[in-house]
């Protein structure tokens, strides 16, 4: 799907974090390997059984705020997920195209707002190890609003909190259901990321344009604003 952004009509750029600004490899390894392995060891059950148990738990709360809540998972799995996140934090890394894109947005006078479903502790750990905050104007965790990005009430709250105009906003995320939610609210431009995890094959988006490198946007962005 062709990407055609009228940059002169965009004031605000909302950006997801994991898989969008940071390499999703960190989270995939944490939740799909480290957590099941730890559950297997703590409960003295086979790794396959641990994977099945956790898969059922994940599916039960997918697209709800609990899915992203470290406190919820600590209670459900009997693990100190916050401590595990802190211990693994050094493995969180920025995508190669993140800083060039964010710096270009700043140079063009665009407001750069992080909008993540990540738990505040998860967010803090990743900011500490990546330096991402210095390239953004505002950082928002949906946990402070009480709803995930899949919920229309979150978008209403964010619009009221930031004063953004949906018709003059670009939103980038690596989840198509979340892009659908943003589009439903009226966000004019919704853009997917095809390569959120550097170690996996590219994703395919069916309802939104998508790209694998933000640097492809820079020429038009800088030209439109020059």
* Tens-place pLDDT, residues 59-118: 999 888 998 999 999 999 999 999 999 999 999 999 999 999 999 999 999 999 999 999
Q: Which CATH class is domain 7-23+93-222?
A: alpha beta
What is the Cα–Cα distance from 157 to 46, expressed in whole angstroms? 44
CB 24 within 8 A of CB 174: yes
**Exposure b/e, 151-184, CB count within 10 A at least 16 = b:** beebbebbbeebebebeebbbbbbbbebbebbbe
Q: What would you report as the CA-atom Rg of the chain, rounded to the nearest whole angstrom?
A: 18
Give, for 179, the enclosing helix (H) or strand (E). helix 176-185
pLDDT given at position 223? 78
pLDDT given at position 224? 55
Q: State the number of CA atoms in the 13 A half-sphere of 44 facing the CB.
A: 0
pLDDT given at position 116? 97
pLDDT, tens only, 181-199 = 999 999 999 999 999 999 9
Mean pLDDT of the chain: 95
Q: Residue 222: which pLDDT band, with cuts at 50, 70 and 90?
A: confident
pLDDT given at position 226? 46
Is residue 208 helix, strand or coil? coil
Q: What pTM value is reported for the model?
A: 0.94
Model confidence at 143: pLDDT above 60: yes
Provide, for the chain, the percentages of residues in helix, strand and coil under a 3-state DSSP scheme, each rounded to the nearest 5: 55, 15, 30
Q: Which of 9, 11, 137, 213 is catalytic?
A: 9
Identify which of 51, 175, 166, 30 has the alpha carbon closest to the alpha carbon of residue 116. 175
How many Å from the N-terminal Cα to the C-terminal Cα in the chain? 26
Q: Tell me the backbone φ, ψ of residue 88, rounded to 5 degrees.
A: -95, -5
pLDDT given at position 165? 98
The whole-angstrom distance between residue 48's C-alpha and the CA centroid of its chain comes to 28
Quote the tokens at residue 118: 């990540």
pLDDT given at position 127? 97
Q: Report percent pLDDT > 70 for the chain.
A: 98
- 9 belongs to the catalytic site: yes
């Amino acid at each position: 799907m062709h990407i055609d952004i009228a940059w002169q009509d965009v004031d605000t750029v909302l950006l997801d974090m994991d898989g969008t600004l940071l390499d999703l490899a960190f989270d995939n390894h944490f939740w799909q390997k480290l957590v099941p392995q730890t559950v297997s060891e703590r409960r003295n059950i086979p790794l396959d059984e641990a994977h099945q148990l956790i898969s059922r738990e994940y599916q039960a709360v997918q697209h709800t705020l609990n899915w992203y809540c470290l406190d919820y998972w600590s209670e459900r799995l009997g693990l100190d997920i916050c401590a595990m996140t802190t211990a693994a934090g050094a493995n969180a890394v920025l995508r190669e195209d993140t800083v060039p894109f964010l710096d270009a947005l700043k140079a063009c006078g665009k407001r750069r707002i992080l909008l993540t479903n990540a738990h505040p502790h998860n967010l803090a750990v990743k900011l500490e190890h990546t330096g991402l905050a210095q390239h953004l104007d505002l950082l928002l965790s949906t946990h402070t609003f009480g709803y995930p990005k899949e919920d229309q009430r979150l978008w209403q709250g964010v619009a009221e909190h930031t004063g953004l105009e949906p018709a003059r906003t670009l939103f980038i995320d690596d989840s198509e259901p979340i892009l659908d939610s943003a589009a439903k609210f009226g966000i004019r431009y919704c853009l997917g990321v095809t390569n959120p995890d550097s170690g996996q094959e590219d994703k395919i988006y069916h309802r939104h344009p998508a790209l694998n490198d933000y640097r492809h946007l820079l020429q038009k962005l800088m030209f439109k604003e020059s």
